Amino acid sequence: MTTQFSLDITPRFCETDALGHINNTVIPVWFEAGREPIFEIVNPGQDLTKWNMILAGFNITFAAPTFYGKTVTVKTHVSRIGNSSFVITQSCWQEGKKTAEAQTTMVHYNYQTEKSEPLSEQVKTQLAQLTGE
């Protein structure tokens, strides 16, 4: 069973900062790209007219610099499932070293009523397959 998704990224020169590291504003964008398979579970087809998620919180910890010219692997899994929300844990790895980790809280959300809604049992089951439990 697959309990996490992986996405390989080749850092671009334009993503570096004056110190030669990948800029700290870039890695959250990479993490968003790594969440796409989970978006597909909650909103099949990712139809923006039927979008049903909102980001409620995002916390990132930088453990080491990430560098240009070396492939980065973004690993993504679900670490908690609630009634209407879930937490996605992600990490960046470069040459066997973890360079960053983030937790993102996503809420199943109705934009018309501006309120959260319970996740369906089907979605919870699919998300649970990504927890490793």
Q: Which amino acid is at 73?
A: T
Q: How confident is the model over 29-82, as pLDDT tens digits? A: 999 999 999 999 999 998 888 899 999 999 999 999 999 999 999 999 999 999
CA dist 12 and 68 (Å) reads 7
Residue 102 near residue 52 (C-beta atoms within 8 A): no
Cα–Cα distance list, 62 to 27, 59, 97, 108 (Å): 10, 10, 12, 28
- Determine the pLDDT at residue 2: 58
Q: What pTM did the predictor assign?
A: 0.92
